[in-house]
Structure 1
Amino acid sequence: MQAPLQPVSIAGLSAAIRACRVCRDVPERPLPHEPRPVVVLSAAARILIAGQAPGLRVQETGIPFNDASGDRLRQWLAVSRDQFYDSANFAILPMGFCFPGYDAKGSDLPPRRECAPLWRAPALSAMPQIGLVIAVGGYAQKWHLGRCAAAMTETVRDWRQHLESGVLPLPHPSWRNTGWLRQNPWFEAELLPVLREKVSRWIS
């Protein structure tokens, strides 16, 4: 399947993404389960959450950030579940649309490589109203910041510079980053108040 060459409606593009089965059919590294692309495109939202890839619970429920990481992210944003899942407030476009499976150590594999080259440009083009991209984790930061993205800590520490271009980098809200949050208290003291203020401007 190829991404659309001409602009299409949000509904049409969302349907095309949900019907995509490219990763399932890659012979050298097929997806270990039936694809279930999880995205939220919006013609109204001013904020885009660019995440990594769905976890297993998200894959099972079809609801983005429907897990402990999502709870922490909503706390960072200072929004309720209802506000978070209102597509007039947030668009959600991860780097990989389906749960990629686990590695030998039981950790989530990286986002599938097929999704971003195929769908990211059409999806972003369909949402020109986006004013702020919240880039969650290193994969999203490298895509949206390009050469400006360094190691995750350095990238997030330089958030003021990146915010000038409309991108705010965040660490992944996984429990695995709890130690990082303790070691970097400036994140909650300096970055989160600015994030919450900007989010509050554009949500209902």
Structure 2
Amino acid sequence: MSSELLSLFWDSFVETLIMVGIAGGIATAVGIPLGLILSITAPGNVLERPLLNRTLGLLVNAVRSTPFIILMVAIIPLTRLITGTSIGTAAAVVPLAIAAIPFVGRLIEGALREVDAGLVEAAQAMGATPLQVVRKVLVPEALPGIINGLTIMLVNLIGFSAMAGAVGGGGLGDLGIRYGYQRFMPEVMAMVVLILIVVVQLVQTFGDVVASRVDHR
């Protein structure tokens, strides 16, 4: 490969890291509280609010059921409003974050549901408030599952970021489409796939190690 093409690979790799990093950070910051609310407001839980739970659940399901490529196109006006453009790395972050937030919310909700109900009941019997139950029982006990969920989210975002390249989102996906497919350079496409596989393996391995470290069971 020429030095120019290698430079393109590096720039595209950095763009992918930026997209996944920023979108993942936003999804984590919003998705974890969303998952907590979905969990504790469910019927029979520490802060039961059936109407709020159903409303949030419907909204989460609506976003999750929308294919990512359609979501990207559907929210172009919002993307332009936030970033001033509908193409490029910055523009791709908006649909990536919006797609990941409900996904993280459901993963966090699932991790919290795995916490032994007896621990929650014991904390409540000792007079713990709902906030104390969340901070002292639910989150610490569910931490390995939460980390596994965030790892899954990052892996999915890497795949979504490559898909975003098909509509001008930048990153490795864009490089693979423009050079590997449109210019008939299969070696470029193969290299893009190889890099994505390596990145996914590194992220998954790191997530597994961290989850095992915080698992006190």
Question: Under TM normalisation by the shorter chain, which class is it?
Answer: under 0.3
- Structure with the larger strand share: 1
Q: Tell me the TM-score normalized by structure 2.
A: 0.24
- Structure with the larger helix share: 2
